[in-house]
Chains A and B, each alone.
Chain A
Amino acid sequence: MNKDEKAAGLMKTIMPEGFVFDPERGARWFTRQGHTGFLGMEYHDHGDDWIELALPWREDLVGVEETGVLASGPIISLLDNATSMSVWTRQGTFNPQVTLDLRIDYVRAATPGKTVIARAECYQVLRSMAFVRGIAHDGDIADPVAHTAGIFMLVSSEGWSKP
């Protein structure tokens, strides 16, 4: 079996005929392994065009040892993942996509010890691009930790993954 057939096989496993993307199951599946699994990301909540993922505080993900403030790297990962999944949530299906760009404003430092929640929304999907925005907070969305805006490119499943 060549790489593309393997990739196509993986896509069929993820998305069989008549597949409807279930954000909760999808998010649990996508946070099981790899980088998301390693950071300990979790499904939190979702609606028609939005999804929330959570990232519990962890000492080994700290950016400033003296204060215990979470590094911003894990917040990028959390927002990248949540915004990505918001596209599939809005579409009700799984389409291969890659991040084109992502801009993040760090509004304030995350409170040490607190779980960070990312609420991401896909506000438009066109033929080749999906437009997303999101907020990371640690309990009160009106007092955000970070804000993001990004664009995903919708791509062919060929070569999208190398299982």
Chain B
Amino acid sequence: MNDYHLPPYARTMGMEVDHVEDGAPVIAMDYAERVMGRPGFLHGGAIGGLLEMAAHAALRAELDRQGSTFRIKPVNISIEYLRGGVQERTFARGEVIRAGRRVANVRVEAWQGDRSKLVASSWMNFLLAPPKES
């Protein structure tokens, strides 16, 4: 799962798989000008993008375990911003609550130095679609 393939957007934003925890990749993103919102803090959109990437990676890992090659499409996301993201490396990890036949529900959290102090918490729903005939 360390070879989880991050899309161009994620690579552009400097996201990478930090390690894998209980089967779900922890995605990390370093602080840089490109993720800054109000001066000195992470942009809410950059946090959202990181959460989505972790949710997607967790679901992909779960589907791989099930032997499913279904495609994953984001349906919606709801983000609670819990505290300002400071100038540190940020981590996010998703937890698949349910992966059904058509829909998957994932919880995601983002944190920085102290894992017990979350920067953001989120739920995300995905639509599962059969692989396209190639």
Residues of A whose CB lies within 8 Å of any CB of B are: 10, 33-36, 38, 59-65, 70-74, 76-81, 96, 98-106, 109, 160-163
Contacts and interface: CB of A to CB of B under 8 A. Distances in A.
B100 interface: no
Given A34-B43, A38-B34, A162-B40, A101 B8 contact: no
A100 B80 CA distance: 6
Interface residues of B, number: 36
A13 B8 CA distance: 36
Specify the main secondary structure of chain B where it touches its partner.
mixed
B118 interface: no
Nearest to B46: A35
Specify the main secondary structure of chain A where it touches its partner.
mixed
B7 interface: yes
A73 B45 CA distance: 7
B43 A36 contact: yes
Contact of A71 (B10, B33, B40): B10
A90 to B, nearest CB: 19
B38 interface: yes
A80 B8 contact: no
A103 B77 contact: yes
Nearest to A105: B76
B79 A74 contact: no
A63 B9 contact: yes
